[in-house]
């Protein structure tokens, strides 16, 4: 189940709230074969996080399927950059990193228990079942202060509340649970895979976007800007804006990394593309290089207008854990442009 971006914490009867964890989303399955967990694109993650496999195998959970987030806890904060380092191809390096910067698994939903499908049941009931399972195996909730959350390896439940004042306190405390924002969920809602039925509220508006092309820097040395896109329901990648917030060395390194993708499909003929010269770009070089649309990054932006970013977006980070097709207009609550 997914979330769409909201401008403010929703209020009213039936809303409940959790911290938004800054990590890798994962679905955990435990059965007779042991523990397994996969990313949002069904990528097995066990080999990258052996310490979490060991933690789960050591618990007498019974068979279950749970939803959660892998995070990397540092003193008083979460480190997404170091978490990404854990996705290393070499087993020796994986083992070294597992010892040096171990991960923590935060569980927030229970989808199946002992073969019983809990997804049609309301969230409040699934939480009761999750809490009972956690109590049985000695798993505690994460504390409200990140300074009190020890480094991994660890297994925790997320805190949740129905009190909007508590959620707002979490959100306001960027040194605590609310440093990446708040998730708002309806207590009576079933679990709906692939549906953006939750609301995420962040300190800044961000979106996960696909890199469909780039423009060369004015001096010809490196990337001038990355051209960004979102998918519509028909699977067409539409241009929504650009980001150019890179240092000189980064521009060169990015262009080198993009070279194998040059000449790819880009935004395609049936979707909105960066286009050519216009009265707004007089005297500027608007040529661009198309890429295979396989890279995803996160950007921050001020607002959307007409299905695109009103101003240049700011690059936040690469998202190797996301699939391009998950980058859709509905994540930001916007309608795709009318096309064709």
Note whether 157 and 104 are within 8 A (CB): no
Is the Cα torsion angle 270, 242, 83, 127 positive or negative in sign?
Answer: negative
User: Distance from CA of residue 25 to its chain's centroid?
Assistant: 7
Q: Indicate which residue of 4, 20, 96, 218 is catalytic.
A: 20
User: Distance from CA of residue 132 to its chain's centroid?
Assistant: 28
Q: What are the residues whose beta carbons fall under 8 Å from the beta carbon of 245, sequence distance 6 or more?
A: 312, 314, 315
Annotated catalytic residue 20: yes
Note whether 258 and 285 are within 8 A (CB): no
Residue 211 CA: distances (Å) to CA of 29, 124, 311, 315: 32, 38, 17, 11
Residue 43 CA: distances (Å) to CA of 21, 26, 95, 144, 183: 20, 9, 19, 31, 24
**Which one, of 201, 200, 199, 197, lies nearest residue 189 by Cα?**
197
Residues forming the active site:
20
């Amino acid at each position: 189940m997914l979330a769409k971006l909201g401008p403010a914490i929703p209020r009213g009867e039936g809303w409940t709230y959790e911290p938004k964890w800054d990590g890798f989303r994962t679905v955990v399955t435990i059965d007779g074969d042991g523990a397994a967990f996969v990313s949002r694109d069904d990528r097995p993650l066990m080999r990258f996080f052996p310490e979490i496999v060991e933690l789960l195998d050591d618990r007498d959970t019974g068979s279950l399927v749970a939803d959660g987030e892998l995070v990397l806890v540092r003193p008083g904060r979460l480190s997404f950059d170091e978490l990404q380092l854990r996705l290393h191809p070499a087993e020796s390096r994986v083992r070294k990193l597992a010892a040096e910067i171990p991960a923590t698994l935060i569980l927030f939903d229970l989808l199946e228990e002992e073969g019983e499908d809990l997804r049609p049941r309301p969230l409040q009931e699934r939480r009761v079942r999750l809490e009972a399972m956690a109590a049985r195996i000695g798993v505690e909730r994460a504390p409200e202060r990140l300074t009190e959350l020890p480094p991994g390896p660890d297994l925790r439940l997320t805190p949740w509340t129905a009190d909007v004042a508590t959620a707002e306190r979490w959100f306001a405390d960027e040194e605590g649970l609310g440093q990446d924002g708040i998730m708002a969920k309806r207590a009576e809602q079933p679990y709906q895979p692939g549906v953006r039925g939750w609301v995420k509220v962040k300190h800044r508006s961000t979106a996960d976007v696909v890199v469909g092309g780039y423009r060369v820097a004015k001096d010809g040395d490196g990337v001038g800007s990355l051209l960004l896109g979102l998918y519509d329901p028909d699977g067409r990648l539409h241009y929504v804006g650009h980001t150019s917030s890179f240092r000189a060395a980064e521009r060169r390194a990015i262009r080198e990394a993009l070279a194998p993708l040059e000449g790819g499909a880009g935004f395609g003929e049936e979707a909105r593309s960066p286009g050519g010269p216009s009265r707004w770009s007089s005297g500027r070089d608007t040529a661009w290089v198309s890429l295979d649309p396989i890279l995803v990054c996160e950007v921050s932006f001020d607002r959307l207008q007409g299905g695109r970013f009103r101003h240049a977006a700011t690059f936040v980070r690469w998202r190797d854990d996301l699939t391009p097709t998950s980058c859709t207009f509905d994540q930001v609550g916007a309608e795709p442009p009318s096309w064709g």
